[in-house]
A = this chain, B = another copy of it.
Amino acid sequence: VNLEVAFTPAELPKGGAAGRTVVVVDVLRATSSIVQALVSGARRIIPTATVEEAVRLAEELGRADVRLCGERDVLPIPGFDLGNSPEHFTPERVAGHTLVMSTTNGTSALLAASGSELCLVGALLNAGAIARRLAADGRDGVVLCAGREGRFALEDAYCAGILLRELRELRADLQTNDAGRAAFRMAGGRSGALAALRRSAAARRIREQGLEQDVQFCAQIDRHDAVPGFDGHRIELTSPE
């Protein structure tokens, strides 16, 4: 099985998502929040490119049933119900609700992945579950790192490396590309997750805003056995095919 890595959405091979599984990764913090929200019982999550689109969609769906969430430059969006801190997505706040989410980098990575055979949402929180799904499907895939404003992000590359390492435990025939080889070596071991995340520019920015606990939360590997799937419109928990 071949699992390549794209460090930025621009590196996704042109037309290359067709016929392949794409795993979108934005560890700090969008895909971590998505995993946590769905595990907490959110019914579905609809990502939007802009804040305005999120507000409009919430009105259409009925504001009372919707939880608006997301961030701009790390901070919560005024008037929204939740920011982008994964531990805030508790059952009390999100169970049974539709979440409409707009984040700086994660959303555009998700939208770049449309056109893939199957799009999964990955984070360290569910790395093992994603690897097991990929191993079972046996389809070729691409880990699409959201990156940071179109540039390489250390935390997403580390997560891609952990996904490759977990998958190689299950599939000895694993192949990858140059970015995958670099990510694999970067993710020397699971014990280094928090240190690896803390080195990233994103973690520094989050810490500056007093949200250091978010980094610790997102550094937990395999907290959940959940595999969210994105159909181009909404994200929901999936079960194996």
A residues apposed to B, CB below 8 Å: 5-8, 10-11, 13, 148, 150-154, 157, 177-179, 181-182, 185-186, 199-201
A151 to chain B, nearest CB (A): 5
Chain multiplicity (copies)? 2
A contact patch SS? mixed
Residues of B contacting A153 in the complex (Cβ-Cβ under 8 angstroms): 178
User: Hey, which chain B residues are within 8 Å of A201, CB to CB?
Assistant: 177-178
CB distance from A153 to the nearest CB of B (A): 6
| Bound CA–CA A177/B181 (angstroms) | 20
Q: Which residues of B contact A150 (CB under 8 A)?
A: 10-11
Residues B152 and A7 in contact, CB atoms below 8 Å apart:
yes
Contact partner, A182, options B8, B10, B186, Cβ 8 Å = B186
CB distance from A214 to the nearest CB of B (A): 17
